[in-house]
């Protein structure tokens, strides 16, 4: 036996009545809930969040797909940069671009004159 099972009677070999959990108290009966933070003297973490119903309460905000300026060298001078043109050149996946959006980040220099029809960083 690698580990003795608690709370399964005298035959388990670990006590019987209380099975090493002590007499009374919160931890003698079942596990303490994950969100339990002690006495409610201070406001709990869950109560600090705004009241949102349903699934997705703690999900982070969805951020757009980012593309670096240096990857835009595949375009010709004067081209219009749209989500459709980025999908056509294979820089983004169409389904993801439609769901999350696209944003161009300027982490390098742009050497061509391009017309942007998607969000761009400063």
Instruction: Enumerate the domain spans of the chain.
Output: 1-53, 65-116
Looking at per-residue pLDDT, the higher value among 78 and 18 belongs to: 78
Looking at per-residue pLDDT, the higher value among 42 and 23 belongs to: 23
Instruction: From residue 54, give the alpha-carbon distance in Å to each of 46, 58, 61, 72.
Output: 14, 10, 16, 41
Q: What digits encode the pLDDT tens for the residues 82-120?
A: 899 999 989 999 998 888 889 998 877 888 888 888 888
Predicted pLDDT at 41: 65
Other Cβ atoms less than 10 A from the Cβ of 104: the count is 21
Q: What digits encode the pLDDT tens for the residues 47-87?
A: 777 777 777 666 667 889 899 888 888 888 888 988 999 99
Classify 59 as helix, strand or coil. Answer: coil
Decide if pLDDT at 1 tops 60. no
Instruction: From residue 17, give the alpha-carbon distance in Å to each of 1, 5, 30, 115.
Output: 21, 13, 15, 77
For residues 110 and 91, what is the distance between their CA atoms, to the nearest angstrom?
17
Looking at per-residue pLDDT, the higher value among 101 and 6 belongs to: 101
């Amino acid at each position: 036996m690698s580990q003795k099972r608690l709370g399964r009677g005298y035959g388990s070999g670990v006590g019987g009545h209380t099975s090493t959990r002590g007499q009374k108290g919160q931890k003698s009966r079942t596990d303490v809930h994950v969100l339990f933070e002690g006495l409610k003297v201070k406001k709990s973490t869950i109560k600090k969040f705004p009241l949102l119903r349903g699934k997705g309460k703690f999900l982070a905000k969805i951020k757009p797909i980012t593309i670096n300026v240096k990857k835009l060298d595949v375009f010709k001078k004067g081209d219009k940069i749209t989500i459709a043109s980025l999908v056509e050149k294979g820089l983004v996946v169409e389904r993801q671009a439609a769901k999350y959006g696209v944003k161009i980040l300027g982490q390098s220099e742009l050497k061509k004159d391009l017309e942007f029809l998607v969000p761009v960083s400063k």
